[in-house]
Structure 1
Amino acid sequence: MNLFGKNIVLWVIIALLVVALFNIFNDPSPRNAGLSMPYSTFLTEVENGRVKNVTIQGPNIKGMTDDGRSFTTYAPEDSTLVSKLSEHGVVINAAPQEEGSMLMATLLSWFPMLLLIGVWIFFMRQMQGGGGKAMGFGKSKAKLLTEKHGRVTFEDVAGIEEAKEELEEVVDFLKNPQKYQRLGGKIPKGVLLIGPPGTGKTLLARSVAGEANVPFFTISGSDFVEMFVGVGASRVRDMFEQGKKNAPCIIFIDEIDAVGRHRGAGLGGGNDEREQTLNQMLVEMDGFETNEGVILLAATNRPDVLDPALLRPGRFDRQVVVPNPDIIGREKILKVHMRKVPLAQDVNARTIARGTPGFSGADLANLVNEAALLAARKSRRLVTQQEFEEAKDKVMMGTERRSMVMSEEEKKLTAYHEGGHALVGMHMKASDPIHKATIIPRGRALGMVMRLPEKDSYSLRRDQCLAHLAVAMGGRVAEEMIFGHDAVTTGASGDIKMATDMARRMVTEWGLSDKLGPLLYGANQEEVFLGHSVSQQKNVSDSTAELIDQEVRRFVEEGEATARKILNEHVDQLHRIAKGLLEYETLSGDEIKTLMDGGDISRPEDIETPVDKGPSSAVPEADGHKKPGGPGLEPEPQPGS
């Protein structure tokens, strides 16, 4: 029975009790007790000899007259009553007084108060979510994790070996503490897992619970904060009390930034409920009282907002970074998720890993799931490499919109736009190789070009930035060259935005402008009070801001000029690429090279979307899917949008 049904039943029972007690209170005497008679009339009837027999039960008297009528009366303390009845020949019966009537009277007198107390307890339980005691506001909501089903161990965690080693040491200390204590070593009191969303921080914590044979409590950072002042601090105390009783144990707090933010940043002087909760947590982790055997694990993707007192050694002694995996890590993660998927012989996890730079563990899990769904949709028994390639395109670029009706003019314009991107990318040595170009609408774009980083990169060189700018402007330049100045569309808005943002970062953040030098130029900041801008803080002078705008414009215009030069010199190749896109809709990197060299494409009729099998095709990067260290191309919006 759900919670709503339980509430309905409870209220029905309360209503029935109220009605029953109300009836008893209004009519406590039995219905068949007879006519109520005044005591004076009763004495008169006795003296006249009309009363046949009576039953005396305390002050209550029941009897019957000589004509067969029954009656009841209430007698005061009269010591002569029995003698009078005997004188007139009345048959006297005596019975003990009923105790239930006294209890009923007491219950009726206390019933309103008991009802109020019951209703108050009911509402208190509802405010606690129905799972706590009546006064359990300050009780911790930490749950003891028992991995009876779906147990996760370190074998299920891959791609983040360094982070796993840190936690393996914690588990080993709990199993064999003498190994470390004999050299004076102490286990860290707290371990903070830091990393982008989807990298496996919570999965790491679950694996610790599966490996360590100690109690494992789990709680969310938002579970501490309530609308009542002091509740969060009380829950922190109760949580550590539970930990002490079950020591050695591990307590895992997910999304600790919900309660561990900088103090003094709130309204009202910072004396709010969240900060009181944080203060209590600081004291419990490293205060006068020591919590031996209680290890605190926490996870967050916002370490920059945490209070410095929470991050210092003695509280969180270790900060374990859980980054996005590299190519080796991605291959291991894919193999973990492929265990439950029936795979065909042509599936190569290494190739898929090389084709997904910048993917997190959650992205890779989604990729495997999408491939399995695509294979099931085709009623296949095994998942092939083709499903993985289609799933990768779907995750990177969006779902194909083949039902979208495009005019021939729009198709031709899109083909030349994407052909311009691809051609400039092919001729720029610093650009990542082209993996695929398509004019099939995906997501919000009419067409798209996927580029291939040769390997995982974590920074960008100057020539790579300039190549990105040239490739981004290649689509707009191709439109202008083929269709004329007046026929240029708004389809390059995403390209222009990407190029402008990259050029501005080159000037203000990366120090790649010779005129402005290796300095950081921040944007102007507005001071806001109660939702209104009260002042504006200028970080650069007016002359410097003007120079920044000039340099940004110069970088973008140089990229446009480079793209125009390449397209003018190889306009015949642009026509061949555009013609191929119009005919096949999707071209692989090798097919684009074949067209540029003047060759013809030979493709089996049963293959709808080619998969590039060349060495450079193993590492695709979709436009708009950013790789670590630098942005890629934004997906081009639809021309005319």
Structure 2
Amino acid sequence: MPRWTKEVLIGFLPVLIIFLAFIGINVVPLLFAAILIGVLLVVANKRGGLAVGAAADRKRKKNSMSKLTFEEIGGQDNAKEELREALDFLNRYDEVQKFGIRPLKGILLTGPPGTGKTLMAKAASQYTDSVFVAAAGSEFVEMYVGVGAGRVRDLFRDARSRAAKENKKSAIIFIDEIDVIGGKREGGQQREYDQTLNQLLTEMDGIYSSESPRILIIAATNRKEMLDSALLRPGRFDRHIQVDLPDKKGRKHILQLHAKNKPITEALDMDKIAEESYGFSGAQLESVMNEAAIYMMREHKQEIEQRHISMAIDKVMMGEKTDRESTLEEKRRVAIHELGHAIMAEVVRPGSVSQVALSPRGQALGYVRHNPQEEQYLYTKSFLEEQIMIALGGAASEEIYYGGRSTGSSNDFEQALNIVQTMMKSGLTSLGIVNIEMVTTEELMRENNVILEALMSRTRDVLEQHRNVFDQSLDILLREETLSGNQFRCLFSESSLLPA
């Protein structure tokens, strides 16, 4: 409609209503009707604008998506192999049909944030030469009833039309954060989320009602336990692939990929970096290499050195250094606290200390960085007890030197409590094999106190036997504010030879 027509109508309608009222006609019903029509037009325009915006966003995502392959994704060898096998059903559709195999309808990628789930979905479209349509769960959530369900229909329609337009035999629809719309349905009042989920289930049921183009749904979530059972059953999301944090080999591969476009010294030891970055996700490893390059640039260097990487790992793990000024007495207390952690770690895990530092980072006034000796996924009772003793080492050393603890031990106690809870769930305490939910709070607290008090006593005894290490290391740590792992071990060995 031309703009001048709208302006004429807007000017004419009020005059008409005033004229009708002047000649004695009841205009109240007309006013209500005009307001209702106006509201409906506004809502329709908004929905149309949102749909156009969502389509434009998807188009931008498609245009900006680089041709990513599985070889460019570091680590996750098992997850990639499992995903490739599932995608082969799409690539070899005719051969699969001969064996009576029903192609998969949906693949669910689960795992911690930053492990590469979205990257794997993009690589899947390249591997199968499919149209790639991406959306986030939050895009389907609106306050208006039916909007989410409509967007699900639009998403599938868009995938089919684009596949036909680009002469592709298949299309991959990727839904990130699917837990937003796929959460467990509860009885009672019908929610907008439920209508959106119902529409998604309906669309997935009808995927193979027409053979071309073939549609595959790939979804990602960090919270699989929150998803509705109807979504997880076979025939919907047929295959669940766990995308875990990378192991040492995977971390090294990821670091090498992100180091390709950066100037790196030949002396850089990637194996050592992979060890130091234990528990890091792919996203964190990318950030480590980026921060290392920033540190290099700050120092006007031409190549990234090992210390730049170590500084970057500290930053990603604990945050940037702060300008917080501590008193000499507070600094001394922090040094004793951190040395307590380091000494306990060196006693129970020889060679595990990577660095002892007093420089404040984030909320911490000091810290000890540990090097894990090897990748480990199963833990014994003695191993967990030793981990608790390392966590309690700071508080125990404060008790030895000051006769009491400080608030600096709060995070250590939280870590110790979490380990005790793991022991209880695993049947490694005197409670035996129990369902934690069936044990009273009083029993849990009693067992918790018995374990922690016994381990605190053992920790104090060990630290008392190594007082010489405190005496030898304290002044150096206060002066230099940092002790490398090798430097600390030299002091530890020399002090241990001295008479107590």
* Residues in 1 aligned to 2:143 and 2:56: alpha-carbon distance in whole angstroms: 15
- CA gap of 1:20–1:406, structure 2 versus 1, over 3 A, is closer
- 1:33-61 superposed Cα distances (whole Å, 9 cap, x missing partner): xxxxxxxxxxxxxxxxxxxxxxxxxxxxx
Partner residue in 1 for 2:401: 482
Give the aligned CA root-mean-square deviation in angstroms.
3.4
- CA gap of 1:270–1:263, structure 2 versus 1, over 3 A, is farther
- The AA in structure 1 aligned to 2:170 is P
* Residues in 2 aligned to 1:504 and 1:148: alpha-carbon distance in whole angstroms: 46
- CA gap of 1:171–1:547, structure 2 versus 1, over 3 A, is closer
- Larger deviation: 299-308 or 237-246? 237-246
Q: Does 1:568 align with 2:483?
A: no
Q: Does 1:262 align with 2:187?
A: no
- 1:259-284 superposed Cα distances (whole Å, 9 cap, x missing partner): 1111225xxx1422221221222222
CA contact (8 A) 1:251 1:294 kept: yes
CA contact (8 A) 1:400 1:443 kept: yes
- CA gap of 1:18–1:181, structure 2 versus 1, over 3 A, is closer
Displacement of 1:160: 1.0
Q: Does 1:219 align with 2:135?
A: yes
Q: Does 1:408 align with 2:328?
A: yes
- CA gap of 1:128–1:382, structure 2 versus 1, over 3 A, is farther
TM-score (norm 1): 0.66
Partner residue in 2 for 1:237: 153
- CA gap of 1:229–1:510, structure 2 versus 1, over 3 A, is same
Displacement of 1:395: 1.4
CA contact (8 A) 1:244 1:291 kept: no
Displacement of 1:391: 0.4
Match of 1:304 among 219, 222, 225: 225
- Larger deviation: 227-236 or 371-380? 227-236
- 1:154-211 superposed Cα distances (whole Å, 9 cap, x missing partner): 2221211222223333544444433433333332111111111111111111112333
* Residues in 2 aligned to 1:162 and 1:122: alpha-carbon distance in whole angstroms: 52
- CA gap of 1:212–1:408, structure 2 versus 1, over 3 A, is same
- The AA in structure 2 aligned to 1:519 is V
* Unmatched runs of 5 consecutive residues or more in structure 1: 1-9, 26-114, 523-538, 601-641
* Residues in 2 aligned to 1:493 and 1:144: alpha-carbon distance in whole angstroms: 47
- The AA in structure 1 aligned to 2:232 is L
Q: Does 1:158 align with 2:79?
A: no
Displacement of 1:318: 0.9
- The AA in structure 2 aligned to 1:520 is N
- The AA in structure 1 aligned to 2:412 is D
- The AA in structure 2 aligned to 1:372 is A
Query: Which secondary structure does the structure 2 equivalent of 1:497 belong to?
Result: helix
Displacement of 1:333: 1.0
CA contact (8 A) 2:292 2:309 kept: yes
Q: Does 1:201 align with 2:111?
A: no
- 1:398-456 superposed Cα distances (whole Å, 9 cap, x missing partner): 2223x432222222222222122222222225x77222111222221211112221112
CA contact (8 A) 2:275 2:371 kept: no
* Residues in 1 aligned to 2:154 and 2:442: alpha-carbon distance in whole angstroms: 59
- The AA in structure 2 aligned to 1:311 is L
* Residues in 1 aligned to 2:141 and 2:314: alpha-carbon distance in whole angstroms: 42
Q: Does 1:519 align with 2:434?
A: yes
- CA gap of 1:481–1:150, structure 2 versus 1, over 3 A, is same
- The AA in structure 2 aligned to 1:449 is V
- CA gap of 1:589–1:217, structure 2 versus 1, over 3 A, is same
- CA gap of 1:123–1:454, structure 2 versus 1, over 3 A, is same
- CA gap of 1:546–1:225, structure 2 versus 1, over 3 A, is closer
CA contact (8 A) 1:147 1:210 kept: no
- 1:88-146 superposed Cα distances (whole Å, 9 cap, x missing partner): xxxxxxxxxxxxxxxxxxxxxxxxxxx9999779734652373547xx99x99865864
Q: Does 1:279 align with 2:198?
A: yes
- CA gap of 1:435–1:129, structure 2 versus 1, over 3 A, is farther
CA contact (8 A) 2:335 2:474 kept: yes
- The AA in structure 1 aligned to 2:191 is D
- Larger deviation: 571-580 or 326-335? 571-580
Q: Does 1:349 align with 2:270?
A: yes
More helix by share: 2
* Residues in 1 aligned to 2:304 and 2:125: alpha-carbon distance in whole angstroms: 33
Q: Percent identity?
A: 36
Query: Which secondary structure does the structure 1 equivalent of 2:240 belong to?
Result: strand
Displacement of 1:317: 1.1
* Residues in 1 aligned to 2:332 and 2:57: alpha-carbon distance in whole angstroms: 61
Q: Does 1:468 align with 2:367?
A: no
Q: Does 1:436 align with 2:355?
A: yes
- CA gap of 1:233–1:570, structure 2 versus 1, over 3 A, is closer
Displacement of 1:596: 2.1
- CA gap of 1:116–1:407, structure 2 versus 1, over 3 A, is closer
* Residues in 1 aligned to 2:86 and 2:398: alpha-carbon distance in whole angstroms: 60
Displacement of 1:289: 7.0
* Unmatched runs of 5 consecutive residues or more in structure 2: 16-33, 164-168
Match of 2:296 among 375, 379, 392: 375
Q: Where does 1:358-373 land on structure 2 (aligned, <5 Å)?
A: 358-373=279-294
Q: Does 1:458 align with 2:377?
A: yes
- 1:62-83 superposed Cα distances (whole Å, 9 cap, x missing partner): xxxxxxxxxxxxxxxxxxxxxx
Displacement of 1:587: 1.0
- 1:552-591 superposed Cα distances (whole Å, 9 cap, x missing partner): 1121111211121112222122211212212221112221
Displacement of 1:233: 2.5
CA contact (8 A) 1:256 1:300 kept: yes
Q: Where does 1:552-631 land on structure 2 (aligned, <5 Å)?
A: 552-598=448-494
- 1:521-547 superposed Cα distances (whole Å, 9 cap, x missing partner): 22xxxxxxxxxxxxxxxx434xxx433
